[in-house]
Amino acid sequence: MFYAEPGAARDAVTAEVRPALVEVAAAFSALADWRAEAIMGAIQGVIDKYKLKLPKLAMPLRMIVFGRSQTPNLGPVLALAEKNACWSGFRKHLAA
């Protein structure tokens, strides 16, 4: 979708944040409503559970989906990217 530095997404997915990203993937799969509000609600639930700050999770999530650490507001951008783009990134970067 965007130009990305090779290996940048892999480097962004640290051992500290990987379990939260796996949970975000599961929360996204359960979403029937792929809109910004629902997406951010799923992300917020994971942030609360793992006691993370949004940037700690958002940067690697952006790297996984878009190949870059900075994007406009995460919820609307993910909604525009569509669920399949997210799944492609999750499969590629969170495989065991």
Distance between CA atoms of residues 80 and 95, nearest Å: 24
Quick check: is 56 in a domain? Answer: yes
pLDDT value at 2 more than 70: no
How many structural domains comprise the chain? 1
* Higher pLDDT among residues 6 and 11, named by residue: 11
Residue-range definition of the domain harbouring residue 70: 15-93
Quick check: is 3 in a domain? Answer: no
Quick check: is 1 in a domain? Answer: no
Distance between CA atoms of residues 56 and 8, nearest Å: 15
Q: What is the pLDDT of residue 45?
A: 97
Distance between CA atoms of residues 51 and 30, nearest Å: 21
Tens digits of per-residue pLDDT, 36-73? 999 999 999 999 999 999 999 999 999 888 888 888 89
Q: Any idea what the CATH number is for the domain that residue 87 is in?
A: 1.10.10.350
Quick check: is 6 in a domain? Answer: no
